[in-house]
A = this chain, B = another copy of it.
Amino acid sequence: MSSTVPGRTPTMRDVAAHAAVSPMTVSRTLRGDPRVSPEMRERVLAAVEALRYRRNDLARGLRTGRSSGLLGLVITNLSNPFYSELALGVESIASAAGMRVVIGNTGGDLERERLLVDDMASRRVDGIIVVPAGHDHSHLDPDALHGLPVVLATRPPSGLDVDCVVVDDFGGSRRATAALVAQGHRRIGFLGLGRSVWTGAERLRGHCAALEEAGLPVDDALLRSVPADPGAAEAVALELLSRDDPPTALFAANNRNTVGAYRAIAETGSAAALAGFDDVPLADLFAAPIDVVTYDTGEVGRRAAELLLERIEGEEPPAHPRLVTIGTTLKRYRPLGAPHPSGG
What is A's interface to B at a CB cutoff of 8 Å? Answer: 2, 4, 6-10, 52, 54-59, 61-62, 68-70, 77-79, 81, 83-85, 87-88, 91-92, 95, 100-105, 118-124, 143-147, 183, 259, 262-263, 265-271, 273, 280-282, 285-289, 291, 298, 332, 334-344
Contacts and interface: CB of A to CB of B under 8 A. Distances in A.
7 contacts: A54-B121, A58-B61, A100-B103, A100-B123, A267-B336, A267-B337, A289-B343
Contact of A54 (B55, B105, B122, B259): B122
A122 B291 CA distance: 48
Contacts of A79: 81, 84-85, 88, 298
A113 B187 CA distance: 54
Nearest to A263: B336
Given A144-B52, A341-B271, A335 B287 contact: yes
A233 to B, nearest CB: 13
Contacts of A118: 54
A340 B269 contact: yes
A323 to B, nearest CB: 24
Contact of A81 (B61, B84, B121, B280): B84
Contacts of A101: 102-104
Contacts of A262: 285
Number of this chain's copies in the complex: 2
Nearest to A286: B285
Contacts of A121: 54
Contacts of A122: 54-57
Given A58-B123, A101-B103, A104-B91, A146 B340 contact: no
Contacts of A69: 123
Contact of A146 (B4, B268, B341): B4
Contacts of A280: 282
Contacts of A77: 88
A84 B78 contact: yes
